[in-house]
Amino acid sequence: MTRDEPLVLGIETSCDETGVGIVRGRTLLADAVASSVEEHARFGGVVPEVASRAHLEAMVPTIERACDVAGVTPSDVDAVAVTSGPGLVGALLVGVAAAKALALGLDKPLYGVNHLASHVAVDQLEHGPLPEPCLALLVSGGHSSLLLVDDVTTGVSPVGRSIDDAAGEAFDKVARLLGLPFPGGPHIDRAARSGSSVAIDFPRGLTSSRDLERHRFDFSFSGLKTAVARWVEAREAAGEPVPLGDVAASFQEAVCDVLTRKAVDAAVDRGVEDLLIGGGVAANSRLRSLAEERAARHGVRVRVPRPGLCTDNGAMVAALGAEMVARGRAPSGLDFPADSSLPVTTVQA
């Protein structure tokens, strides 16, 4: 790290976490997060209005905390970056408005960036420059995507996506079915350790020969979620106990099997030697281990950030912003919108 590298403050408010990160070049200086997950837990999922209000309350304190940890003042930064989409529109608006006010007041360049591309860029804070090209598997509550990344600041191309429920959404819904807390991912991962992954043969979506002709690299988890629900309901109707560990482990295996199988297949098909896994579900222990195992058979290297950088955070936005500055990309104008459906091909607003 040198003083010549760009010092960038990043703001992330796409869902239920207010994240503010500060990086210098590819070195993380601060990653402050204020989560409203407990406020949503009693509803069993994220409530957009609750999330937006929580961002409003947390924004200034989180910026101040990040600056204190980094040992800088807002006026020290070279640029401000913010998630402009995709995400919940009300939540995005809070972050975009705050970033515009900050950049305008400090007379600093502003970069509106894509949430998914930020999940790719954050890996640089831990493992150094991204191999170009690389294949990214992004799995979260809102997204399950396979992306070919030629240049994280400009060249992100979709390879595959979920055609219904995202993987993280399926984890949340199955957790609710099993009486586990929200968010479901960590609790299913924990419960699965006491069960057998082969106890129940749950379906693997879009893996039949016919499906692979049209959806070779796409995902579907809606049918799996329904299959789990019917299996549990049948046990309960028969007055039999539901083996929590076995259901959790078998469901988790079905999700991770499809994700890793298609990701490695896509890497081999595209001739890419590096697979990056990001997003909240990337913290899942089985996904990590199965990806490593399968990729190694095909000579594909796997990069996964530590769990704290997989979930939504400001560091990932700052990382992409710093890369924009370092590569000489022009800043965004102050008129860019919060775009809830911003396509992944649009890396910068």
Pairing of strands 155-161, 274-278: unpaired
- Cα gap 154→263, rounded to integer Å: 22
Residues in the chain: 349
Query: Which residues of the chain form CATH 3.30.420.40?
Result: 7-122+313-326, 131-305
Neighbours of 296 (CB within 10 A): 12
- Cα gap 311→87, rounded to integer Å: 14
Q: Can you state the angle between helices 244-270 and 184-192, rounded to 10 degrees?
A: 110
CATH 3.40.50.620 applies to domain 7-122+313-326: no
Q: What percent of the chain has pLDDT over 70?
A: 99
For 281-307, how does the pLDDT look when each residue is reduced to its tens digit (9 = 90+)? Answer: 999 999 999 999 999 999 999 999 999
For 11-65, how does the pLDDT look when each residue is reduced to its tens digit (9 = 90+)? Answer: 999 999 999 999 999 999 999 999 988 888 888 788 989 999 999 999 999 999 9
What integer pLDDT is reported at residue 299 of this predicted model? Answer: 97
For 254-286, how does the pLDDT look when each residue is reduced to its tens digit (9 = 90+)? Answer: 999 999 999 999 999 999 999 999 999 999 999
Cβ contact 152:53 at 8 Å? no
CATH match for 131-305 among 3.40.50.300, 3.30.420.40, 3.20.20.70, 1.10.3720.10: 3.30.420.40
Q: Which residues neighbour 98 within 8 Å (Cβ) at sequence distance 6 or greater?
A: 11, 13, 59, 63, 82
